[in-house]
Amino acid sequence: MDAAIQTKVNAWLAGNYDKAAKDEILRLQKESPDELTEAFYRNLEFGTGGMRGLMGVGTNKVNKYTIGMATQGFANYLKKIYGNTEIKVAVAHDNRNNSRFFAETTANIFAANGIKVFLFESLRPTPELSFAIRTLQCQGGVVCTASHNPKEYNGYKAYGDDGGQLVPPHDKNVIKEVDAITGVDEVKFEGGEDNITIIGKEMDAEYISMVKSLSVNPDVIAKQHDLKIVFTPIHGTGITLVPDVLKAFGFTNVTIVEEQATPDGNFPTVVYPNPEESEAMSIGLKKAKEMEADILLGTDPDADRVGIAIKNHQGNWVLMNGNQTAVLAFTYMIEARKTKGIAQSNDMVVKTIVTTDMINEVAKKNNVACYDVLTGFKWIAELIKEKEGKENYVIGGEESFGMMVGDKVRDKDAISAVAFLCEMAAYEKNNNKALYDKLIDLYIEYGFYLEHLISITKKGMRGQEEITEMMQSYRNDPPKTINGSPVVQLLDYQLQVEKNLQTGESRDITLPRSNVLQFILGDGSKISARPSGTEPKIKFYFSVHTILNSKEEYDSTHALLEARIKGIIEDMKLK
């Protein structure tokens, strides 16, 4: 074993760590030295959004001690910023194994540092944590979750006083404080328990009331109250609020997928508890077909992502991708506000740079401002704060199944999104139109945009280096052509430069630095490369588009665009 790694192992064996942790280290030394190396070869990074990783013993795993040092660092930062004024934080958790323990550990550490803590009585969706921070006027917050990762993972998301995840300079400054914690002895694990207040039902009621206020067409819901809705929480926190929110909206015909209704950190019916995965939605899809439902919806474990399935133009059930869902939702919001006479001249919508540009076209044609931000809802929240009092935010979203309606929550919110999407389905049904037919109509009006995503995972000590090398190669030696089309622009968000590769001209990118590259091709195709900030993977986003002349040409045009994406992937040797 590397000497530096062995030193860290020895520190745990000799230090103030519990017997169970030390026993596990000794077991790994005998039975699985490679696993022990993996557990200690680095410190689990507290990144700009918190941290996420495999649970287990070691500096590279999520456990009581890595959670403890992260919380102590966050507490130190809050005390440094807010001084002697009363500091308040809210703490929540999802249904994952150990999430309650990690949340209580987090609450105890904040409390021991003299910080007032509002701890949810039991599991709650992430968006309710964001709402609670704003409602209780907290200076920060934490939710213990690993979002849609497999059951072996857990994590920790940190929030600021606006209810959004930390952004510069706070994110980097918190990281400095966390990195300054040199050992577990610096963590105040106990003392100050009187600083903890348990919250629950009252906050639920306020949140549900807020979500209900987002409804644009309650009169339509009254007419279509028996819309056949199937919902699956995929063993997660969605079960705590989605049924109540749908009831508050006025929907009366909601079927819960019983096999996935009970919160369970082992996720017994799925491998990846992610509504982006067809496997996770398969049981719900079967139920929707049996019932001849109007719409199927699923939320991930912490209920910040939502996936939907509907019947396509041929009557077959299909899972919508995040871009399709976003296009439908953004358009519905823009059109419904106009029809209702509540649209404002300063309305704005927000999307991320890897989300379909079709939304930009919809907004442009409807004279609504559309802003592009970096990937991650914290940037949407930051833009809302920046534009507050000047522009009116109505909806934001990203291709990875995230959506946020209204500005009372400052993170993606699958709870309100479920209700909003059901209202959208009811509205189209009231007009004798299927949602998929509405989507095709939008393609005819605004252009047919098709997107695809590939995630390449690079595990282990070498994995991160390979991803870095891949990005460096694209950055230093960009391809001249891709799939027979010239690469005309390279957008480098790390260097904050957009360069015309044909003329050599360049201009500044005003967004914050981020390790993202985008290639714009002569035929209008766009390829984005972005290493994940929370997992050892790199993501490639593909977007192609063309004109759709009629509904009759939909299938052939779809096939043409699919072939174009396939050609790009093959030419870039990503398969």
Active site residue: 130, 147, 416, 528, which one? 147
Pairing of strands 229-232, 254-256: parallel
- Which residues are within 8 A (CB) of 464 and not within 5 positions of it... i.e. 6 or more apart? 458, 536
How far is C-alpha 342 from the chain's CA centre?
29
Q: What is the token pair recorded at 305?
A: 């992502």
Of 233, 435, 450, 398, the C-alpha closest to 317 is 435
DSSP per residue, 470-516:
HHHHHHHS--SEETTEEEEEEEETTTTEEEETTT--EEE--SPP-S-
- For residue 478, is the peptide bond before it cis, meaning its omega torsion is within 30 degrees of 0? no
Distance CA 109, CA 100 (A): 14
Do 131 and 143 contact (CB within 8 A), yes or no? no
List the alpha helices (DSSP H) in 388-492: 414-430, 435-446, 460-476
Distance CA 196, CA 78 (A): 17
CB-count burial class (<10 Å; 0-12, 13-18, 19+) for 284: buried
Do 401 and 325 contact (CB within 8 A), yes or no? yes
Phi, psi torsion values for 364, nearest 5 degrees: -60, -45
Which residues, in sequence order, are bridge partners of residue 116?
88
Question: Any catalytic annotation for residue 147?
Answer: yes
DSSP one-letter code for 237: G
What angle do the packed helices 435-446 and 322-340 form, to 10 degrees?
Answer: 90
At 255 the three-state DSSP class reads strand
Q: What is the token pair recorded at 193?
A: 């328990």
**Geometric angle at alpha carbon 36, from 270 and 73, rounded to 5°:** 80
Distance CA 457, CA 309 (A): 27
Which residue shows structure tokens 């696993």? 35
Distance CA 42, CA 47 (A): 14
Ramachandran area for residue 83 (φ above 0: left; ψ -120 to 50: alpha; else beta): left
Do 70 and 50 contact (CB within 8 A), yes or no? yes
Most distant CA atoms of the chain, gap in Å: 72
List the alpha helices (DSSP H) in 181-260: 201-212, 218-223, 242-249
Distance CA 184, CA 161 (A): 27
DSSP per residue, 37-87:
HHHHSSPPP-BTTEEEEEBSSSTTSBSHHHHHHHHHHHHHHHHHHHTTS--
Residues annotated as catalytic (active site), given as ranges? 147
